[in-house]
Structure 1
Amino acid sequence: MDNIQTMDRNETQDTISSEKVDGTAVYGRDGEKIGSVHHLMIGKRDGKVRHAVVSYGGFLGMGEDYFPLPWGELTYNEDHGGYVVNRDVEQLKGGPRYSRGQEPTWDRSYDQQVSGYYGKL
């Protein structure tokens, strides 16, 4: 019964708790695992998820790179049990990214840089 109640609180037909999204695997278009959702960036005023920050590489949090992706880039795939992006690792590596402790200033300019790279302006 506790599992059903937890499911009810964390996920419905139309919504999902950020607790369930963090750590979810992200796969490239080739089906290979790219990384996992590290965290989400949410608009303070409109409450919309703007970006999913995907962690890639590293070991136990050391040496990871973080790739912010426009939320619309991710599609949940039940077969994979995670999100799929229509990109590959090389495309991610060519785009905006940062290392632990080097987080960018999440301002309008950075948002446009991320969105522009993925053609989401």
Structure 2
Amino acid sequence: MPTATGHTTAIRASRVIGTAVYNTSGDKIGEVEDVILDKTSDTIKFAVVGFGGFLGVGEKYHAVPWASLNYEDNQGGYIVPFTKEQLETAPQDTIHELTKDDGERARTTAMTHYGLR
């Protein structure tokens, strides 16, 4: 079954990890490093997007609400509807810290930061 943007509602995690993420201006801002799942509710809590750095050194990791990632075929990656300022000031941490406490703190903080419910 397709989503509102015409994509399927099911996707393999292996196809998501490593996919580029762009802002609405078309600038590459990072890539999906991981996907955090909530196994008790069968939902995705958030995507971990890596920003900056080189070969993993100096990279910053952000929890990005899964529903905010929209795949664009012509871009070959996900587009997020956030401003450059929102992305630059987004809460960041290590992947380990983002997933502590079942990732709920990271998810809630990201939702609040991006003004989402």
TM-score range, shorter chain: 0.7 to 0.9
| SS of aligned partner of 1:103 | helix
Root-mean-square deviation (Å): 1.9
Which has more radius of gyration?
Answer: 1
TM-score by length of 1: 0.80
Q: 1:103 aligns with which of 80, 97, 106?
A: 97
Q: Among 36, 40, 48, which residue is 2:43 paired with?
A: 48
**Matched residue count:** 109
Q: 1:107 deviation in Å?
A: 4.4
After superposition, the C-alpha distances for 1:52-76 in whole angstroms (9 at most, x for unaligned) are: 1110111111110011111111101
Deviation at 1:116, TM superposition (A): 1.1
Could you tell me which runs of 5 or more consecutive residues in structure 1 were left unpaired when the two chains were aligned. Answer: 1-11
The ranges of structure 1 where at least 4 consecutive aligned residues each deviate by more than 6 angstroms after the TM superposition are none
Query: CA separation in 2, counterparts of 1:60 and 1:17?
Result: 25
Cα distance in 1, alignment partners of residues 27 and 65 from structure 2: 20
The 1:34–1:118 alpha-carbon spacing in structure 2 relative to 1, beyond 3 Å, is same
Answer yes or no: is the 8 Å Cα contact 1:28–1:84 preserved in 2. yes
The residue number in structure 2 matching 1:4 is: none
For residues 30-69 of structure 1, the aligned pairs below 5 Å read 30-69=25-64
**Matched-pair identity in %:** 36
Contact kept in structure 2, 1:34 and 1:89, CA below 8 Å: no
Residues 27-59 of structure 1: per-residue CA shift (max 9 Å, x gap): 001001001000011112012112111101111
Alpha carbons of 1:108 and 1:67: their partners in 2 closer, same or farther (altered >3 Å)?
closer
Q: Structure 2: which 5+ runs fail to align?
A: 1-6
Distance 1:108 1:16, change over 3 A: closer
